[in-house]
Structure 1
Amino acid sequence: MRVSTQQIFQAGLSGMLQQQSTLNQLSQQLSMGNALTNPADNPTAYSQSLNLGARIANLQSYQQSNQYAQQNLQLSSSSLQSVSTLMNQVQQLAVQMNNATVNSSDLQNAITTMQGNLQQLVQLANTQNGNGQYIYGGSTTEQQPFALQGNNTVLYQGDSSQQNLQIGPSLNLPVSQAGNQVFMNIPGGNGTFSVTADSGNYGAGSGTVTLGPGAVIDQSAARNAFVAQGAEYQVSISANASGALSYTVSSGTASGSGGLTASGVVSSGAYKPGQSINIPGPGGSPMASVQAQGQPADGQTQSFTLAASKPQSLFQTFSDLIQAFQAGSGSPGANAKRAQGISNVLQNLSQAQTQILSVQAQIGSNLQEAQSVSSLNSSLTTQFQTTQSSLADISYPQVITQFQESSTALQAAQKAFVQVQGLSLFQYI
């Protein structure tokens, strides 16, 4: 077979280039620690590695969102715990002021304390996370949700939604709270009905009757009467000119100026201070009861209205306690008015504590879910990284050996090429 000089050169050059390519590929694998530098070498493994890389990146994104969600949830839980502590302090202050021995100085100090407590509550409700976002504004996280007005009322400027973050495939978790559901829409009274004293109960020389808190005996009947039918009840306690005490319970609907219209007496009897008065349901059986303390002045009637509970904000409850303290002290009527106001506040505080605990329980459940998902995502990430490593990582001893063999082969090819290109017939002439 006749071999031309061009063929000799081409064959030698092709062999050296192939060895150089192999050496270069092995060098890249050693420098990168990756066996899949060339997709054509193992298309299946390369495709699997890319898919695993995408899934790992998604999990890492979910983990970042999860971490942010946990931080917000922990901040919410911590701030609500501070709110609970503040409510306990307010409750203790209310109990301390609910006696006839306090003087005007004591009450003024209590008013100052409550004004500070109200400001602190607003500050807690306007809690911001590390990014400056408000966690109780619903989905409106850039605007301060609660604004304290000059008359001690508080306006809510957020919405009723929640900001959600995706922490896993098809799994969203709320990272903000709707502040109106936490602080504003709290059932008043005992959650079914509330007690309101008539405005004329506590004038000069008046009696000392206070009513409440109320208790529900038959929940179904009470909700049907107060909520479904909108009925209201008036409890009146009277003392005739000779001092004989009695009570009446009337039912009807509220009139525009106080009291009831279309009312009818549904229960009556003799009254003794400290007595519990039953409120009869439609069938005559007691559905609720209220405890009365004190007694009216001779010839006086003191009345109270029982109506369906309405939503009340925690801020309003704090303001109501300030108003109760402003009733003053010294006269029996002033002390009774303050006691009635404090009694209503304590019942509203109890409802608020139940509301806050419910929100804290939900936040705790969300936090537990986030931590569980985080643990699962971490385990999946480790699993995917291990699988990807088995596909892409090189065996350094094996690749180093191959690199040395390829380097030796290239050197041998270069030497052989030098010797072959030196051959010529002219050397033998």
Structure 2
Amino acid sequence: MRISSSQYFNLNVSSMSDQQSTLATMYQQISSGNRLSTASDDPLGAAQAVTLTMQSATLSQYSTNQTSALSSLQQEDSTLGNVSNVLSSIQTQVVHAGDASLTDADRQSIATVIQGHRDQLMSMANTTDSNGNYIFTGLKGNTAPFSNNASGVGASYDGDLGSRTVQISNNRSVAIGDTGASVFQSVSASESAAVPSASTGNTGKGTIGAVSMNDTSNPNNASTYTINFAVSATDDSTTYTVSANPADPSLPTTLTAYTADTKITLGGQSVKISGAPANGDSFTVQPATSTNNDVFATLDNLISALKQPVGTSTSAQSQLTNALATAGTKLGNSYNNVLAAQTAVGGRTQEIQSQQTILSTNKTQNASDLANLTSIDLVSSISSYELTQNSLQAAQMAFSQIQKMSLFSYLGS
């Protein structure tokens, strides 16, 4: 096959032009460190790079969400820890108030201390985060969750029951806050004791103690029990009857003779009543979840009871003892509820920290995959660049020498 001089020159010029273009591309890659300047450099790789870039942005957002959620949960955990400390201090004061040697003035002082703790709890219940949002108000971040009732007893919850959640991974969202109603106005069904109380109309010297749990599986523990006393006008003998709502078929249907400090069985529970109840006095044992569990109301009633003068009246002392028994049980239930909430917050915190570890690994792998697609190996690229450059220079020299090959050059020599 014959190749004309023009074809030969055109082929060589085209080849060197291609090599120069390759060198220019390689130089651009070396100077930028990026293998994919345009999608045409590697269409498949470019598509994969777009996917990885989008995934990187998603992972970065999850990282931001995790950091924000962790900060919110840590603040709530700290606040709940402070709440539990205050409740523990109040319980200590309740035990102290039960000392029969205290005077009315002493109990007034205790009431003042508890009032200070009550104010602390209200402030903690209305805690805000760094953005000024209330942490216990549900989805109503700009609304203070609690305000004191006009009656002077208890607090009104002005938030809602919604739960703020944050997505921390592709298929997992976590709650970053608990409602004030669930923390300050609720109790844990499994970690709470039945609440003993005396009727406000009692006139005798009977006092009710804490409720003992004997059989947690007894279905009648869900009933509210009322113990009614009667004192015979003829011989001063005291008897009682027990009713339950819902009904408890195991209860005796006849009058039972009263003996102080003897356990009275109520379903799977028992309670002791001491002293001498008067005719018509009654006492109640209720499941913790069925009573008013507003911790602020509990404290207001406790403070009011402590401010009542007792003096030397044994009846007034009995009323105070009953009020302390009721308040002590309710505060213990509230304390356990706060601890349960704090435990749940700790569990969510650990979950986020675990997701942070997983996310860090995913981000590293994603960055590595993206770098493999888009970045160059500098040493290899420079070596290839020099090899191509040498090849081009050799081609140029060879073409220059061939250009001099002419019959006239030989004849001239």
TM-score range, shorter chain: 0.7 to 0.9
Counterpart among 363, 373, 376 of residue 394 in structure 1: 376
1:172 is displaced (CA, Å) by 0.9
1:329 maps to which residue?
310
2:407 maps to which residue?
none
1:271 is displaced (CA, Å) by 3.2
Q: Does 1:291 align with 2:269?
A: no
Q: Distance in 2 between matches of 1:237 and 1:198?
A: 14
- What pairs with 1:173-192 in structure 2 (closer than 5 Å)? 173-186=174-187
Local SS of the residue matching 1:215: strand
Local SS of the residue matching 1:390: helix
1:350 is displaced (CA, Å) by 1.8
1:275 is displaced (CA, Å) by 2.6
Does the 8 A contact of 2:153 with 2:300 survive in 1? yes
* CA deviation string 1:108-150 (max 9, x = no partner): 2222222211111112122222222222112222322122345
Local SS of the residue matching 2:338: helix
- What pairs with 1:129-148 in structure 2 (closer than 5 Å)? 129-148=129-148
Q: 1:421 to 1:334 in 2, by over 3 A?
A: farther
Q: 1:340 to 1:177 in 2, by over 3 A?
A: same
1:97 maps to which residue?
97
Local SS of the residue matching 1:213: strand
1:26 maps to which residue?
26
Local SS of the residue matching 1:186: coil
- What pairs with 1:35-54 in structure 2 (closer than 5 Å)? 35-54=35-54
> What number of residue pairs does the alignment pair up?
399
* CA deviation string 1:260-292 (max 9, x = no partner): xxxx9835444343332234xxxxxx5432211
User: Percent identity among equivalent residues?
Assistant: 27
Q: Does 1:55 align with 2:37?
A: no
2:241 maps to which residue?
249
Q: Does 1:220 align with 2:218?
A: yes
Q: Which amino acid aligns with 1:343?
A: A
1:359 is displaced (CA, Å) by 1.6
Q: Distance in 2 between matches of 1:252 and 1:369?
A: 44
Q: Distance in 1 between matches of 2:335 and 2:322?
A: 20
Local SS of the residue matching 1:176: coil
Does the 8 A contact of 1:79 with 1:124 survive in 2? yes
Does the 8 A contact of 2:264 with 2:272 survive in 1? yes
Structure 1 stretch 392-401 or stretch 158-167: which is displaced more?
A: 392-401
Q: Distance in 1 between matches of 2:230 and 2:31?
A: 94
Does the 8 A contact of 1:246 with 1:268 survive in 2? no
1:187 is displaced (CA, Å) by 7.0
Q: Distance in 2 between matches of 1:362 and 1:393?
A: 45
Local SS of the residue matching 1:278: strand
Q: Which runs of 5+ in 1 are unaligned?
A: 227-231, 255-263, 280-285, 423-429
User: TM-score, with normalisation over the residues of structure 1?
Assistant: 0.79
Local SS of the residue matching 1:105: helix
Local SS of the residue matching 2:74: helix
Does the 8 A contact of 2:118 with 2:299 survive in 1? yes
Does the 8 A contact of 1:187 with 1:312 survive in 2? no
- What pairs with 1:99-138 in structure 2 (closer than 5 Å)? 99-138=99-138
1:312 is displaced (CA, Å) by 1.5
Local SS of the residue matching 1:312: coil
Q: Which amino acid aligns with 1:195?
A: P
1:366 is displaced (CA, Å) by 1.5
Q: Distance in 1 between matches of 2:402 and 2:143?
A: 83
1:210 maps to which residue?
207
Q: Which amino acid aligns with 2:95?
A: V
Local SS of the residue matching 2:253: strand
Q: Distance in 2 between matches of 1:168 and 1:253?
A: 48
Structure 1 stretch 144-153 or stretch 378-387: which is displaced more?
A: 144-153
Q: Distance in 2 between matches of 1:398 and 1:302?
A: 96
Q: Which amino acid aligns with 2:64?
A: Q
* CA deviation string 1:80-126 (max 9, x = no partner): 11111111100000010112222222222222222211111112122
Q: Distance in 1 between matches of 2:155 and 2:126?
A: 12
Local SS of the residue matching 2:281: strand
Q: Distance in 2 between matches of 1:401 and 1:252?
A: 92
Q: 1:267 to 1:119 in 2, by over 3 A?
A: farther
1:25 is displaced (CA, Å) by 2.3
Q: 1:414 to 1:102 in 2, by over 3 A?
A: farther
Does the 8 A contact of 1:197 with 1:304 survive in 2? yes
Q: Distance in 2 between matches of 1:28 and 1:106?
A: 87
Q: Which runs of 5+ in 2 are unaligned?
A: 405-413
Q: Does 1:318 align with 2:299?
A: yes
Does the 8 A contact of 1:183 with 1:314 survive in 2? yes
Q: Distance in 2 between matches of 1:168 and 1:306?
A: 47
Q: Distance in 1 between matches of 2:244 and 2:370?
A: 76
Q: Does 1:369 align with 2:348?
A: no
Does the 8 A contact of 1:208 with 1:333 survive in 2? yes
2:408 maps to which residue?
none
